[in-house]
Amino acid sequence: MSAEEPLRRPSDPAPDRRREFAEEARAERPDLARLCLLICAVADPAVTEHDLVEADVELDRLAGLVPYGTRHTGAWKEELAALLGVREGFEGVPADYQRLESSLLHEVLRRRRGLPILLSVVWMEVARRAGAPVYGLGLPGHFVVGFGDPADLDLVDPFAGGRAMTAEDAELLVASATGEALDRSMLRPAEPGAIVLRILGNIRAWATPRPERSDVALWAVDLALLLPSHPARLRYERAELLVQRGAFLTGAAEMEAYAEIMDAVDPESADAIRHRAQAARARLN
């Protein structure tokens, strides 16, 4: 991307960020940072391409501060913790869970605060650009970053400023979140699409107890549906949001379409969904 935003004439159409998001999500190798920044642009239409480029340049700048010799020493955890956790002040606090900005990459880069998964995205993007063998690990209830061979569980917690984690730490984290033992299936590195789906899920979770922000929940669902892989139930969630926002006919129609899908796997649930669709249509009277 160019550091200069091209001048746009008043007659030029505004960028279609959702289309850009869909195209990037379906690319052979999706760019995680770009997907996260496109979420920012959908969240706030005032965000310009220049803002997105600035955020990308900041990730490049941070990567340039990683000592070049780290490629030979392999001390990625120590160097990145010193840079990102101490010098640059990236970390999380409990209050971050109550802020939508904590899920928006450009705001996380500005505030140096965010949810575990967004702070992990910062770590991953900086580390990747510096040449590190880095990956994200979406443990239940908490997202962390790993280096090297995933089987070695060489992990750090960006939310804690880059605190090193042992395999035992990961087991305790999973047990506290789920009450169950760590399963090896939880240790597969997360692909960009799965990371973005989880970020959008966090945004929906933020909006759910705030009915006045159903607009946020709706665009988060819409973006999630553009990902190549997503839960089918998101379509029902979208229909419910439409009804909540007063689009009774459209919401009811989408409920009925989802009920047809459910007929084959759960007829009882499909019938219940049709009843909700009828109730939505009745609200027009």
Tokens read off for 70: 């780290």
How distant is the alpha carbon of residue 277 from its chain centre?
A: 30
Average pLDDT over residues 32-44: 98
pTM of the predicted structure, to 2 decimals: 0.91
How sure is the predictor about 101, in pLDDT bands with cuts at 50, 70 and 90? Answer: very high
188-214 pLDDT, tens digit each:
999 999 999 999 999 999 999 999 999
DSSP per-residue string spanning 47-81: --HHHHHHHHHHHHHHHHTS-TTHHHH--HHHHHI
- How many other CB atoms are there within 10 angstroms of residue 74's CB atom? 14
Question: How much is the pLDDT for 90?
Answer: 98
Question: Is 197 strand, coil or helix?
Answer: helix
146 or 3, which is more confident = 146
How sure is the predictor about 96, in pLDDT bands with cuts at 50, 70 and 90? Answer: very high
Give every CB contact of residue 54 below 8 A, 6+ residues apart in sequence. 106
Lowest mean pLDDT among 58-62, 195-199, 260-264: 260-264
DSSP per-residue string spanning 117-164: HHHHHHHHHHHHHHT--EEEEEETTEEEEEES-GGG-EEEEGGGTSEE
How sure is the predictor about 12, in pLDDT bands with cuts at 50, 70 and 90? Answer: low
167-195 pLDDT, tens digit each:
888 888 888 888 888 887 788 999 999 99
Question: How much is the pLDDT for 2?
Answer: 41
How sure is the predictor about 4, in pLDDT bands with cuts at 50, 70 and 90? Answer: very low
Q: Which residues pair with 133 in a beta bridge?
A: none
111-137 pLDDT, tens digit each:
999 999 999 999 999 999 999 999 999
Tokens read off for 190: 């997360």
- Burial class from Cβ neighbours inside 10 Å (0-12, 13-18, 19+) for residue 268 reads exposed
158: pLDDT strictly greater than 70? yes
Question: How much is the pLDDT for 141?
Answer: 83
Q: Which of 171, 233, 146 is nearest to 197 (CA)?
A: 233
2 or 157, which is more confident = 157
Q: Which residues pair with 157 in a beta bridge?
A: 163
How sure is the predictor about 13, in pLDDT bands with cuts at 50, 70 and 90? Answer: low
Tokens read off for 267: 């007829």
Question: Is 165 strand, coil or helix?
Answer: strand
Q: Tell me the pLDDT of the chain averaged across its residues.
A: 92
Tokens read off for 248: 């009774």
- For residue 22, give Cα distances in angstroms to 137, 172, 198, 204, 223: 24, 37, 16, 19, 8
Q: Which of 94, 158, 152, 153 is nearest to 124 (CA)?
A: 158
224-259 pLDDT, tens digit each:
999 999 999 999 999 999 999 999 999 999 999 999
